[in-house]
Amino acid sequence: MQRASAVEFTLAENNSENSSISTDKGWQAVSSRDTLNPAQKKLSSDLLQLSDERYLSGEESSETLRARMVKLGQLSQADPISRRGVLSGENPENAENTENPAGSGENASEASSYPDEKVYVYVYLEFFANSSILDGYCEVTDRDEENHIAVAWVPLESLEKLAALSEVRNIQTVLPPFIRQGSTVSEGDSILNSSSLRELYGVNGTGIKIGIISDGVDSLKDAQATGDLSSDVHVLSNKIGGNEGTNMLEIVHDIAPGAELYFHDCGNSRLEFNGAVDALVNEGCIVICDDIGWLSEPFFEDGIVADHVKEVVKEHDLLYVSSAGNSGDSHYQGSFYDNGSGWHDFSSGQGEVDNLQLEIQPSGEVWVFLQWDDRWEHSGNNYDLFLKDRNTLEAIASSKVYQDGDNLPLEYIMYTNSGKNTLNASIEVRKTSGEARELELYIYYWPGVMLRSANIVAKDSIFGHPALPEVITVGAVGTGESGDYYIEYFSSVGPVTLSYPSPEIRPKTDLSGIDGVSVTGAGGISEQFYGTSASSPHVAAIAGLVWSAFPEKSAMDIRRLLYTSSTDLGEPGYDPVFGHGLVDALRMHEQASADPSTFTVKTDGSGDFSSISDAINSSKPGDSILVYPGTYRENVDVPWALNISSASGKPDDTILETENSAKPAFHVTANSAKIRGFGINGSGRAGVYLESAAACMLANNKVSGCSPGVLLEESFNNTLTGNDISNNAEGLRLTDSFLNTILENEFDNSININESSAGEKGLSNTWNTVEEVRYLYNGGVYGSRFGNFYSDYKGPDADGSGIGDIPYGSDSSPLIARLAAYSMGFEVGSTAPAQDTVSIEGETLEFAIRSTRNCTFSWLLNGVLLQTNEFVSSAVLSINTGELTGSITESNTSTPLPAEYNLKVIAANGSSTLQHSWNLTPSPAEEETDTPENTNEDNVTRGSISGGENEKSAGDDGSGGSGGSGGSGAGGSPEPSSNVESKELAQNFVASGSHIRFGFSRNATPVTAVEFDARKNAGKVTVTVEMLKNRSVLVSGLPEGEVYRHFNIWAGNSGFASPENIENPTVSFRVEKDWLSENGIVPASVSLYRYSATNWTELSSGVTGEDESFFYFESETPGFASFAVAGQKQSESLQFFTHTSMQNNSPETGPDGAPEIRITRENADNSTEEGNEEEGNEEEGNEEEGNENNRNISSPGFVICIALLLAGALWIKKQ
């Protein structure tokens, strides 16, 4: 069985130079780069030696090289499909040496005596190339187009032809993996309390799928026959062979017998390993465990395997558990220390031994790998690696790749002692050029090799994907005779130091597990199972066991529970040797089922903690952290589900300022975390960073001075609401993040939203409420979906609802103002009339009110209940003014009309009540001294009706106006709101060939309809009419005649109302008869004027009808823009009254000394009855009874009074 320290290994790829796996002697004659052709320079050294025997070392023959490559699965002399890699711990068989000299040919085909041989290689392609270019030269077994790598079987005779392609960067052999197993076995099920958990709570792992990746399951049937494994293990692939997988599955089954188990071998390459991970994920495994490591991965940065595992963990709610490795006693790390002659002193000048020493017995095998902290594929510092004979000081083997700026910082030696004597060897490093760098070596050896401990450094002996923060890395713990626990001497430990993309120290190991357990060996014979290969499945199984009892918890929650429930070993608290401690299944279950705790944080130390981070480190998933007011300078990591909130709920008094501005203030990697009520500032990375997080909530936070304010990266189903994200270089950045809900936030930044996706598009985020909500805005109650406020939104708000009419990016309902301008609580508004004091005019008075909630409205007049509207959101009350004044005066005709009435409406929603009131004031008759002009015998002034010219210009130059669209862009208006008295909107769907009518039924403006014939489909179109207080700011001058009203008409988006889109447009409008009468204007002289090209143009207008109060008109128009209704004054004014006579009696003198003229309304019998104005006893007649009372009113006040009453009543109705 192979040495415990051997990490699973794949040959590191050198992407431009040849690794010298040779002695110095054999390479002296031909090792110069000048002797290699361009294609040969792209081959790894073993491929070069295989193809051209001149490059073999003096101690290695072509036959021994071929034998080793066949054993490692790199060379096939038969059908490669039936091949299976040899991974046993036996020493390579020594092939018989031949007397044949190295081939004298210039390439492999001339030297090889095996024309059908194929080699198993990585082919690295240029960034612009596709792997399909290889199909004519080799058999491609795997492709990674993203990383420009292919795995292939290449005929040896075609190797240089393939390498000569310009699309090929280099070709490297693929080495099989090593397993992180021990060599010399505890019963973890009882030690880790998993058996107690099953017995006490009946938990067995049911419902959980656990996947194992290792070498093979060759003894699976033996373990199933003895009952150590269930018969339903799902084996997805077992082409590598071996029994590590069986052993790991057996441990998992012992601890979680109800779990569904899956196995996939590790594959022969890194690409196949990544495929194995994907296969288990696709089968639904939520716990994955491996004992694999790849030496082709960088030591000082994450490689392609680590990157893939990281993405898998981010994208899925799963736990990934991996062995820490068994290199604790076979690892070195330290800065290059020149001994004065360019060689590295491994003791840094502190010891007698300045190298690494080992004894290699005959057939003993050792592999040495050296890396330094240059960036991967960008090394310009040149180091060489040597294996020397300590007795003769001669180099036995060396690796001397020349690093010139674009190479791998890698040298390696693979050596087997083919002699008959034990070799006393040393490992040495020489710097040939460049700077002193941090060096790191791993030594892997088999039985027959002894590595001395001098200069060995256990610290930082973890690399590859187990070094990821997203992976649970497990060390191996043994048990002493007294029951104490100790770390196994070979177990790799942390921390992990990385240099790229930026310097980083990662805390590792994470947990400890038991090794040395009994497993079923080949043939059903029990054997001991040591190493981190044995400890990691214990942790994976316990995670699955407890998770089955709490399936609602996330993977991050389970991970945290593993940490907080573990038994502390070594130094108190976390340490890089034991991690958080030895896993304990029973304690983990108890913590998971316990009630959540609440921790307080106060700056003065009077709380449970004085920093947020300390509180988090002592918490478990589901706990709450209550932070009291103060300023906290720290960077907070949130790795599990927590509820973190400010005690005051006020972001202004609970501030988180970053201690390190290069890191986020809040870094959330957990699911279901909540952060509420904080002021957050000072981060150049992000105020809040959600990294691969889901179901989190950010609410009522104020984020400023960050870049960006909030960052979501590969995060889903999170909610951001009520946050003020302002004064940041960038507000919210969404990177590959979907299905998040983002609403009711405020964005006021240089860039408010930055949304991007590198993958498939189609999923989206939600930027509005799903349903319409009712809210109060500027005194009005509206219903709409609710979005966010953006400082750079410039869209219109035609109806004044506070919601923009056009979208802001993906937000279809952007807010016009900040959140404080809106209230979604229980409110009342949209009251009509809007003013609190109302004159009693006209026949009826209408009052209206709306609420943001369904409620009961009670209407009271001077405390008397008039009406109740139950469980409604709006209500209207109509009051008959005749009945109102009659009911007051009939009971006591001698009582003067009250000076004021109070109308109150009370809105009740549950126990909450709101109210609004109006004061109703009688309107006295106005007194005038002027007498009406141009009266005749029947008291009716008549005038002739004549039509005007069509399109008569009112401008100075007499030219007609040009047609226009009448749109101002997306339904907006350039008219200042201060000049808009009222507006009304109408919407309709515009279909080609249809006559379209937009009716305005609210009578908020003089316009009653806009019509046209559609020439094109336009979908839903909005037409807006604005009635103005004065003439439009868009015009100059006034049209001819007396102006009745100014108004604007905007139709659709800018450019819509053009002759290409519509034809035959018309505007229908109405004019009050009282206005015509007062101004002496006949209806036939009324026209609609349109402003265009700096002129007013009179449009063709005609009377279409009338009612008691209005004349109705229709005008043809070439387009929509600013309009005015005007009429021409006649020599005689018109009075529009029915059954009314004007009586010119001798003037009487009024109280002010002015003459009085009375107007007498005739009864049906033409009799008159004068009323006493001074007594104020004007009474309305009851038309239903047919006895209209005649009233004598001072003239000309009567006409004016009637006009004012009518105008007031109409105005009220419009409101």
Token code pair at residue 397: 């083997």
Q: What are the backbone dihedrals phi and psi of residue 692, each rounded to the nearest 5 degrees, phi first?
A: 50, 40
pLDDT of residue 556: 87
Is 971 strand, coil or helix?
coil
pLDDT of residue 14: 30
Give the percent of the chain with pLDDT over 70: 78
Contact 781, 827 (CB under 8 A): yes
- Whose structure tokens read 């699309």? 167
Of 177-181, 352-356, 853-857, least confident by mean pLDDT is: 177-181
Cα-Cα-Cα-Cα dihedral sign, residues 254, 259, 260, 264: negative
Instruction: Look at phi and psi of residue 112 and say left if phi exceeds 0, alpha if psi is from -120 to 50, else beta.
Output: beta
Helix (H), strand (E) at residue 226:
none
Q: Which of 85, 536, 520 is nearest to 290 (CA)?
A: 536
- Whose structure tokens read 């070594």? 570
Q: What are the backbone dihedrals phi and psi of residue 858, each rounded to the nearest 5 degrees, phi first?
A: -120, 125
CATH class as words, domain 331-457 = mainly beta
- Is the pLDDT at 213 greater than 50? The verdict is yes
Q: At what angle do helices 532-549 and 194-201 cross, to 10 degrees?
A: 20
- For the segment 187-212, the average pLDDT, to the nearest whole number, is 84
- Whose structure tokens read 């990266």? 713
pLDDT in tens, 361-372: 999 999 999 999
CA 1122/CA 1034 separation, integer angstroms: 7
Contact 409, 376 (CB under 8 A): yes
pLDDT in tens, 874-900: 999 988 776 555 444 333 333 444 557
CA 469/CA 669 separation, integer angstroms: 10
Q: Which of 576, 558, 512 is nearest to 538 (CA)?
A: 512
Question: How many residues does this entry show for the chain?
Answer: 1215
- For the segment 965-979, the average pLDDT, to the nearest whole number, is 62
Sheet holding 423-433, edge to edge: 395-399, 382-389, 423-433, 356-360, 449-451
Is 1046 strand, coil or helix?
strand
pLDDT of residue 318: 94
CA 731/CA 711 separation, integer angstroms: 9
Topology of the domain covering 828-922: Immunoglobulin-like (2.60.40)
Contacts of 246 (CB under 8 A, 6+ apart): 216, 217, 218, 219, 220, 222, 223, 229, 519, 520
pLDDT of residue 174: 82
24-176: CATH superfamily? Peptidase S8 propeptide/proteinase inhibitor I9 (3.30.70.80)
Instruction: Please name the amino acid found at residue 22.
Output: S
CA 495/CA 778 separation, integer angstroms: 60
pLDDT in tens, 1013-1070: 998 888 778 899 999 999 998 888 899 899 999 999 999 877 788 888 999 999 999 9
**Class of residue 420 by CB neighbours under 10 A (exposed 0-12, middle 13-18, buried 19+):** exposed
pLDDT in tens, 91-115: 333 333 333 333 333 333 344 445 6
pLDDT of residue 20: 33
**Class of residue 349 by CB neighbours under 10 A (exposed 0-12, middle 13-18, buried 19+):** exposed
**How sure is the predictor about 484, in pLDDT bands with cuts at 50, 70 and 90?**
confident
Radius of gyration of the chain (CA): 46
- The string of DSSP codes covering 760-786 is ------B-S-SS-EEEEETTEEEEE--
Is 386 strand, coil or helix?
strand
Residue predicted with more confidence, 470 or 932: 470
Alpha-helical segments (H) within 1142-1191: none
pLDDT of residue 116: 80
Contact 547, 287 (CB under 8 A): yes
Q: Which of 255, 321, 328, 314 is nearest to 290 (CA)?
A: 321
CA 558/CA 547 separation, integer angstroms: 7
pLDDT of residue 294: 87
What b/e string do you get for 462-500 counting C-beta neighbours within 10 Å, with b at 16 or more? bbbbbbbbbbbbbbbbbbeeeeebebbebbbbbbbbbbe
Neighbours of 240 (CB within 10 A): 26
Average per-residue pLDDT in the chain?
A: 80
Where along the chain do its domains lie?
A: 24-176, 179-325+507-587, 331-457, 595-756, 828-922, 977-1127, 1151-1214
Contact 1086, 1111 (CB under 8 A): yes
* CATH code for the part of the protein at 595-756: 2.160.20.10
CA 674/CA 699 separation, integer angstroms: 8
Of 256-265, 526-535, 637-646, 984-993, least confident by mean pLDDT is: 526-535
CA 22/CA 159 separation, integer angstroms: 21
- Whose structure tokens read 């009110």? 849
> Looking at residue 343, what DSSP letter applies?
B
ω into 257 cis (within 30 of 0): no
Q: Which of 29, 25, 72 is nearest to 47 (CA)?
A: 72
pLDDT in tens, 162-176: 999 999 988 888 876
Contact 582, 485 (CB under 8 A): yes
Residue predicted with more confidence, 590 or 182: 590
Token code pair at residue 1095: 């002129």
* CATH code for the part of the protein at 977-1127: 2.60.220
- Is the pLDDT at 1200 greater than 60? The verdict is no
Can you state the percent helix, strand and coil of the chain, rounding each to 5? Answer: 15, 35, 50
pLDDT of residue 190: 65
Q: At what angle do helices 585-593 and 555-564 cross, to 10 degrees?
A: 120
pLDDT of residue 178: 61
HSE, CB side, 13 Å, CA atoms: give it for residue 579. Answer: 32
**How sure is the predictor about 189, in pLDDT bands with cuts at 50, 70 and 90?**
low
Q: Which of 143, 537, 627 is nearest to 319 (CA)?
A: 537
CA 574/CA 557 separation, integer angstroms: 18
The CATH architecture annotation of domain 179-325+507-587 reads: 3-Layer(aba) Sandwich (3.40)
Same fold, 595-756 and 977-1127: no
- Whose structure tokens read 């036996």? 90
pLDDT of residue 1001: 87
Of 120-129, 504-513, 592-601, 944-953, least confident by mean pLDDT is: 944-953
